[in-house]
């Protein structure tokens, strides 16, 4: 790659790119141009335009670059360990920013009262994650979220070892209801036998503390599927809009098992 020299063509190019970004807050820049500018701050003396093009060609899109594995990034000529780490940090920051915009703790707490709202909150947290990741969501009696707890990474069967820790956290947080979520990085949305067995065990453990487990959702890409719900016979649209508040009240007053046989 040609190195930038003081007063050289690339120095002038960077200045022009920064001016373009400043004039319209970046809205007129293409994805490769945004990536090119991001790389200025980790690769200060090289032409990053060509590198940005190669990255997007290799991974298909800007999103693909920010979700790529660090080892795969390092296979692209011009990307070293520090640059790969920088891009991974950007990707993780983008995921957390997106989730934060959906759940701003400074704003009035939203009610997560439908499966669609749970999905909208969780999907950004699973974007670009290539391992199984388990979250515990805890709610008050109006389905305001009081905790989003990263339980663990790895096979769902390993979560069985954390059931006591999950129950203790739910009790300590004063939760009225709980929802478990995990992802299938391979893209299969159907729950496994281990998924179902864990759900039953956790349901039973939480019921002893009078904290209903409302649902266990499996996420794959941008799709999700419930494990427990008896409303699975509804259409996807009807299920997504169904009331979790009504479900909570029904299960708080019920004396039978929460998972339909």
Strand partners, 138: 147, 178
Q: Which of 36-50, 102-116, 130-144 has the lowest mean pLDDT?
A: 102-116
Compute the average pLDDT of residues 126-136. 87
Topology of domain 107-253 in CATH is: Cytidine Deaminase; domain 2 (3.40.140)
Cα(29)–Cα(183) distance, integer angstroms: 33
Greater confidence, 126 or 179? Answer: 179
Greater confidence, 27 or 132? Answer: 132
**pTM recorded for the entire structure:** 0.63
Compute the average pLDDT of residues 46-73. 88
Greater confidence, 52 or 260? Answer: 52
Q: Which of 6-10, 33-37, 220-224 has the lowest mean pLDDT?
A: 6-10
Residue 130 CB neighbours (<10 A):
11
Greater confidence, 160 or 172? Answer: 172
Domain residue ranges in the chain: 9-99, 107-253
Greater confidence, 188 or 5? Answer: 188
What percent of the chain has a predicted confidence (pLDDT) above 90?
43
Residue 136: closest CA among 122, 121, 150: 150
């Amino acid at each position: 790659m040609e190195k930038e020299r003081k007063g050289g063509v690339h120095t002038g190019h960077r200045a022009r790119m920064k001016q373009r970004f400043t004039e319209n807050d970046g809205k007129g820049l293409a994805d490769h141009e945004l990536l090119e500018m991001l790389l200025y701050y980790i690769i200060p003396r090289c032409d990053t335009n060509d590198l940005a093009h190669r990255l997007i060609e290799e991974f298909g899109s800007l999103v693909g670059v920010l979700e790529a594995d660090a080892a795969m990034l390092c296979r692209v000529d011009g990307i070293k360990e520090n640059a790969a780490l920088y891009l991974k940090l950007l990707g993780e920051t983008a995921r957390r920013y997106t989730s934060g915009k959906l759940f701003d703790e400074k704003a009035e707490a939203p009610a997560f009262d439908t499966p669609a709202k749970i999905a909208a909150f969780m999907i950004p947290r699973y974007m670009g994650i290539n391992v199984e990741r388990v979250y515990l969501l805890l709610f008050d009696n109006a389905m305001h979220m009081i905790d989003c707890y990263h339980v663990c990474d790895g096979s769902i069967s390993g979560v069985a070892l954390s059931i006591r820790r999950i129950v203790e956290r739910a009790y300590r947080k004063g939760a009225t209801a709980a929802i478990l979520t995990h992802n299938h990085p391979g893209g299969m949305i159907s729950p496994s036998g281990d998924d179902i067995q864990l759900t039953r065990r956790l349901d039973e453990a939480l019921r002893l503390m009078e904290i209903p487990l409302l649902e266990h959702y499996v996420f794959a890409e941008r799709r999700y599927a419930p494990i427990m719900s008896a409303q699975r016979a509804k259409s996807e649209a009807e299920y997504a809009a169904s009331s979790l508040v009504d479900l909570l009240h029904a299960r708080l007053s019920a004396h039978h098992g929460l998972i339909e046989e």
